[in-house]
Amino acid sequence: MNELPIITILTLLPLAGGVIALALGRNNRAWARHAAIGFGGLALVIAVGMWLGYDAASGELGFEERHAWVPSLNIEYRVAADGLGVLMLVLTALVTLMAIVASGDFWKRVEDTAAAGSGYGSPLYYALILFLQAGLFGTFTALNFFHWFIFWELSLVPAFFLIRLWGGFQRSEAATQFFVYTMVGSIALLLSFLALFLSTGEFDFTRLAELGRKGELIPALAAKLGWFDLTTQQLGALIFCGALLGFAVKVPLLPFHTWLPATYTEAPTPVTMLLTGVMSKMGVYGFVRILLPIFGGVMHWQTVRTILLGLAAATVVFSACAAFAQKDLKRILAYSSINHLGYCLLAVFAVATYQADVQAPAVEKASALNGVLLQMFNHGLTAATLFWFVGLIEKRSGGLRGLEDFGGLRKIAPVFCGLMGIAWFSSLGLPGLNGFVGEFLIFRGAFALAPWAAAFSVLGLLVTAIFILTILQRVFNGPLNEKWSAWPDLTVRERVFAAIPIALMFVLGVYPQLVLGVVNETVVGMVERMGF
């Protein structure tokens, strides 16, 4: 236990910031923005401090806080963070601060179009972003399902209103679709964990994982519930499917992905940065932290494993093909996000595989999971940066973002095109940039554990390269569209903003140990506790 409740402080900090932003009122919009930046910056400092202060050599949970809440229901306030947790806290703090700063450009474009306002935006807007950040912090640190689920849902509500109030022309439909899909997934997840509680009396993730590892969880379900004469295996599969749906919608996993393209396209660019940079990682986090440890035995069943691997491989390949077919840059990035997170799901499902001909299964599983954690951070950084660049294109073009709307921009905006090109190559997985190492580790593990799924998924890498090179050719190269002859290059402020994520892409590409050194022992511990 720690004397200083650092996780609670970190979680409450953006809540306090949001309340202050609201209290400032519409007459102090500039101060509301400054307050949001200040609280976002302070959260990043604390998260980085936790990263530096975490005992990576142990790989165990740190910064733990544990207090009885509702003892009669075995509910307690329990938060902690291991290598995975501190990684997600840093990513959340970083991307949220990026989104808050980028909101200045978004509001400037909106209010210029309206020919009014100062370009600072609504205090409610900034408050909702900070409330969303608080929900994310809680989701990545809570270890008891009861209050973890509160944070899980808390992140949904601000995101819905951010899309519904400040999105594009079809924001109402997109926000409703986003809410309905994620709410259905959340209900299924809640019902599954209520079934677990009725069977075991436990809400604690660590204890449930221990029961799952010992093979006691599914028999307990059958003994306590016994619905409709279902067999033990059928009942276990049913409860697992409910939990799977909750996380699969959030990532998303095909075929539960149809809400994402419209949501990412219609959401304000800073909100899309949060959706792709952090909120999509909630689903992958749930697979790694909750589903795999608790339901690993079910995922190991041959039929379940084959279906999951097939869905992951389809997510990788078909979403890349869908991205190639798009003409809108935001929709291309939306499908590309599904594609990149499909690699993470491929690795997670492959880890639930054991094959006798694998020489060192523990090593391969650790490689795959290390790749997942690295890919989560790298994709969050890269995708958020790319959406910010697309937002700048919208700002400079009056809202246009189609492939056919531009051409030859490199001639008049070389810095803009050069930096955005680096981010595109990072997304492509070019060696030397951050996107390469995570994908390499994923495929290194997946080829040994699930060779057929990994081999099929390689097609996604090929299609990704094709559509990214197509974008570079049509938007940056070729003859200059005279309509954009006065296109401005990046300002000094924009160059400073872009320099930070671009520099991180190079640093993590050359020295991935910066992340792997913190998460590896946590991953090794996860693999050792799997029991299959």
- pLDDT digit string, tens, across residues 102-141: 987 666 665 554 433 344 578 999 999 999 999 999 999 9
Q: What's the distance, CA 502 to chain centroid? A: 19
31, part of any domain: no
Q: Within a domain: residue 37?
A: no
Structure token digits, residue 321: 């093909």
Asked whether the beta carbons of 445 and 371 are under 8 A apart, the reply is yes
Pairing status of strand 75-81 against strand 62-70: antiparallel
478 SS3 class: coil
pLDDT of residue 73: 84
What distance, in Å, lies between the first and last C-alpha atoms of the chain? 31
Nearest Cα to Cα of residue 281 among 336, 340, 240, 321: 340
Cα 16–chain centre separation? 24
The packing angle between helices 29-53 and 83-113, to 10°, is 160
CB-based contact 94:385 (threshold 8 Å): no
Which amino acid is residue 249, in one-letter code? Answer: V
pLDDT band at 89 (very low <50, low <70, confident <90, very high): very high
Residue range 326-336: mean pLDDT, rounded? 94
253 has a pLDDT exceeding 70: yes
pLDDT at 242: 94
Tally of CB atoms within 10 A around 421: 18
| Average of per-residue pLDDT values in the chain | 90
Single-letter code of the amino acid located at 168: G
Q: Which two tokens stand for residue 150?
A: 């509160």
Q: What's the pLDDT score for residue 186?
A: 93
Q: Is the confidence at residue 234, as pLDDT, over 90?
A: no
Q: How far is CA 513 from CA 20, 48, 508, in A?
A: 39, 16, 8
Q: Are 460 and 317 in contact (CB under 8 A)?
A: yes
Number of domains in the chain: 1
Q: What is the pLDDT of residues 266-276, one digit of tens each?
A: 999 999 999 99
Host domain of residue 375: 315-532
Q: What is the DSSP string of 101-151?
A: HHHHHHHHHHHHHTT-S-S---HHHHHHHHHHHHHHHHHTTB-BHHHHHHH
Look-up: residue for tokens 């570079």? 472
Highest-confidence range of 1-5, 68-72, 218-222, 414-418, by mean pLDDT? 414-418
Q: What pLDDT does residue 484 have?
A: 86
Tens-place pLDDT, residues 468-514: 999 999 999 988 888 888 889 999 999 999 999 999 999 999 999 99
Beta bridge partners of 77: 67
pLDDT at position 354 is 60
State the number of CA atoms in the 13 A half-sphere of 145 facing the CB: 26
Q: What percent of the chain has pLDDT over 70?
A: 95
Look at residue 280 and tell me if it is in a domain. no
Cis peptide before 252, with omega less than 30 degrees from 0?
Answer: yes
pLDDT at 355: 55
Does residue 260 belong to any structural domain of this protein? Answer: no
Q: What is the spatial distance between Cα 408 and Cα 472, in angstroms, rounded to a whole number?
A: 10
pLDDT of residue 291: 93
DSSP 44-65: HHHHHHHHHHS-TTT-S-EEEE
Instruction: Report the pLDDT value the prediction gives residue 44, as an integer from 0 to 100.
Output: 97
* pLDDT grade for 322, boundaries at 50, 70 and 90: very high
Query: Is residue 427 domain-resident?
Result: yes
Per-residue pLDDT at 359: 57
Q: Give residue-wise pLDDT tens across range 385-429.
A: 999 999 999 988 888 888 888 988 999 999 999 999 999 999 999
Distances (CA, A) of 82 to 17, 121, 152, 171, 185: 26, 37, 19, 37, 26
At 76, is the secondary structure helix, strand, or coil? strand
Asked if residue 366 has pLDDT above 80, the reply is yes
Q: Can you give the pLDDT at residue 1?
A: 47
Instruction: Tell me the C-alpha distance between 117 and 256, whole Å.
Output: 40
Non-local (6+) Cβ contacts of 304 within 8 A are 237, 240, 298
Within-domain flag for 416: yes
What is the average pLDDT across 203-221?
Answer: 89
Contact 1, 64 (CB under 8 A): yes
* DSSP label of 258: T
CA distance 284 to 91: 14
pLDDT recorded at residue 117: 38
Q: Which residue, 408, 341, 399, is CA-closest to 372?
A: 341
Q: Determine, yes or no, domain membership for 500.
A: yes
Average pLDDT over residues 94-102: 95
Helices (H), 413-491: 414-428, 434-449, 451-471
Type of residue numbered 432: G
pLDDT digits (tens, 9 = 90+) for 58-83: 989 999 999 988 888 888 999 999 99
- Res 221 pLDDT > 90: no
Total count of residues recorded for the chain: 532
Query: Could you tell me if residue 228 is left (phi over 0), alpha (psi between -120 and 50 degrees) or otherwise beta?
Result: left
Could you tell me if residue 502 is inside a domain? Answer: yes
Rounded CA gap, 491 and 4, in Å? 42
